Amino acid sequence: MSDFREKLVNIVKAAACDLFDRAEELVGDGKLMTDFDIAIRFPIGDNFGEIPVIEVNKSYVAKKAADAMFDNKEDSKTSEGE
């Protein structure tokens, strides 16, 4: 195995361990989460040797806005039936 490949394999394994160890922190409480994306960036080429970065993107339901939308729908149903 080449030195580059061996080093990259070891870095990937180490990053995976970090991801595993931090899973609860990265996910959080998960309440009202609609999407969860995770990526690990491994700079290579001229940037090889930089520390890998774990990127997390989460999307959540806007609860108060959703409540307001559903309240308005209920209000319009009630006024239509009167």
The answer to whether 68 and 27 have CB atoms below 8 angstroms apart is no
Q: How confident is the model at residue 73 (pLDDT cuts 50, 70, 90)?
A: low
Output 37 or 70, whichever has higher pLDDT: 37
pTM above 0.95, yes or no: no
Sign of the Cα pseudo-torsion (48, 19, 29, 60, in order): positive
pLDDT in tens, 38-55: 999 988 878 777 889 999
Phi, psi of 77, rounded to the nearest 5 degrees: -65, -40
H/E/C letters for each residue in 26-78? HHCCCCCEEEEEEEEECCCHHHCCCCCEEEEEEEECCHHHHHHHHHHHHHHHH
Question: How is the chain split into domains, by residue range?
Answer: 3-81
Ranges 19-33, 40-54, 67-81, most confident: 19-33
- What integer is the mean pLDDT of 14-20? 95
